[in-house]
Amino acid sequence: MKQAVLPPNSAKPLAPYTPAILAGDTLYLSGQIAMDAEGGLHTSDIATETRKVMENVGALLKAAGMGYEHLVKVTIFMSDMAHYGAVNEVYGTYFTDTPPAREAVAVKGLPRGVNVEISGIAVRG
C-alpha cells in the first residue's frame, strides 16, 4: 500500500510524479529543487539554493511525520562539481548525528536550469 505525501503550501510537481510516496514505514522522496509554492526559484547563490532544497526535503519529511534524522539514503545532483564544497557546507548543517548514506554527482542538466536537486529515502523507526 502506498500513500502520496503532499505538504501543504508546496509547489506543484513539474511533471507526472508524486513529490513523495510513503510505503509502510519507508518514505521515497522525489528530487527536490529550490522552488517555492508559487513556482519561483531561489537560485541567487548556491548556499541559498541548497538551503531551499533542504527546506523542501524537510517539508516532505514533516508531512510524513518524520525529520531529517529519518533519512537513510540521499542522492545529490549538481550542475557542476565546483558546487560540491558549498553544497556540503549547507547540507551538513541539517544533520547533528549520523548523516545518511549518499552520493553526490554532477549531471549535464537539471529541471528549470537549477544547480542542485536532492532525492532521498527515509525510514521511520
What CATH number corresponds to the domain at position 69? 3.30.1330.40
Per-residue pLDDT of the chain (125 residues; tens, 9 = 90+): 899 999 888 888 878 999 999 999 999 999 999 999 999 999 999 999 999 999 999 999 999 999 999 999 999 999 999 999 999 999 999 998 999 999 999 999 999 999 999 999 999 98
> How many angstroms separate the CA atoms of 124 and 26, rounded?
7
Q: What's 41's DSSP letter?
A: B
Pairing state between β 71-78 and 101-106: parallel
Rg (CA), the chain: 14
- The pLDDT of residue 77: 98
Domain extent, residue 117, equals 2-123
pTM: 0.96
Number of domains in the chain: 1
Q: What's 119's DSSP letter?
A: E
Amino acid at 68: Y
Tell me the C-alpha to C-alpha distance, in Å, between residue 26 and each of 22, 111, 118.
Answer: 6, 26, 17
Q: Work out the burial of residue 119: count CB atoms within 10 Å of its CB; fewer than 13 is exposed, 13-18 middle, 19 or more buried.
A: middle
Q: Cell 532525492 belongs to which residue?
A: 119
